[in-house]
Amino acid sequence: MDAGSPGKTMEDTGVLQHLLEIESQASVLVDDARAEADKRIKTAEEQNRLRYDKQYQDLVQKLEAEYLEQVQAVRAEYRQSLEEYRKSLDFIPLDRAAFSALVSQLLTGGT
């Protein structure tokens, strides 16, 4: 290489200019790829959020329905138990004389 040779300097400048153009194009490609990746990530996150929200709502509805069924079952069981208790009271004889005596004793102070 002859330092004084103008042909080589022009050729070197052309090569460097070409390399700078390629680097610039590569930078644009990288930026475009990054922007596309960000867009895809955002779309995927939105889809995942929608899918999560749907699954969450489905589960909430299922659990709420199960809860309401259990509440109804407990209420029915409670009503049945209460009705059975009331019926059992019908078979207990009332001792009105003993009740009256107890009330009189409590109201009169035990005399």
pLDDT in tens, 34-63: 999 999 999 999 999 999 999 999 999 999
Residue in this structure with the two tokens 């022009």, named with its chain if needed: 10
Q: pLDDT at position 6, please?
A: 54
Query: Six-digit token pair at 26?
Result: 């590569």
Q: pLDDT at position 9, please?
A: 82
The residues, ordered by sequence, that sit 6+ positions from 2 with a Cβ below 8 Å of its Cβ are 8
Q: pLDDT at position 14, please?
A: 86
Query: Six-digit token pair at 51?
Result: 């899918």
**DSSP-based three-state secondary structure for 56:** helix
**DSSP-based three-state secondary structure for 1:** coil
Mean pLDDT on 62-72: 98
Q: Is the pLDDT of residue 111 over 80?
A: no
